[in-house]
Amino acid sequence: MEGERRLTEEDAREALRGHVSMKAHAARELYGTIDRPTLELILNDPEVTRWPTSIVFDSESLRAGEFGFATPVPGSPVGAWQITLHPRYSGDDSAVVMLAVYHMVSINYGEIATHEEAEEFGATLLGLSEEDYYTEVCALADRES
C-alpha cells in the first residue's frame, strides 16, 4: 500500500523496552520493595516471570568472569528455568536479588533481550535509576570471593 509505514527493527526494540518497563512497573507496584523472599515469589509468579524459576549456586558451570546465567531446566514438564549464580553471592541476599533480576528478561523474552532490557527491567523493578543499577551490578560482578 502506498504511504504505508514499515516497522523497523528499532520499532520492535522500542516496543520490547516498553513491555519490559511495563512488566517491571506492574511487579514493583504489586510487590513493593524486592527482598530475597519476595524475589522467590516473583520467580514463581507467571504474571511476572514467564516460567517457574529457581536460583542455584554453582561455579562449575560458569565461564571465567561470569557472575551468572539463566537456562531452561532440561526435561522439565512445566518449562522451568533456573538462574545459576556464583556461590560467592549465596550469603548476600541483596546481591542475589540484584543479579537474579538481571537475568529475568532472558527468561521472559529469550535471545532478543539484551543487556539494555536487563538493565531497564532490573532498575525499574528495584526502584533504581538505570545508571545506579548498572553500577551496582558491575560492582557485584567484579567482586572477588
Please, which contacts does 89-95 make with residues 24 or more away whose CB atoms are closer than 8 Å?
89/57, 89/140, 90/57, 93/35, 93/36, 94/35, 94/36, 95/140, 95/143
pLDDT at residue 34, rounded to an integer: 97
Cell 510487590, residue located: 31
Residues 73 and 70: their CA atoms lie apart, in Å, by 9
> What is the count of structural domains for the chain?
1
Residue 119 lies in a domain: yes
Residue 15 lies in a domain: yes
Residue 1 lies in a domain: no
pLDDT at residue 2, rounded to an integer: 61
Supply φ then ψ for residue 47, to 5 degrees: -75, -20
- What is the pTM assigned to this prediction? 0.90
pLDDT tens for 11-26 read: 888 989 999 999 999 9
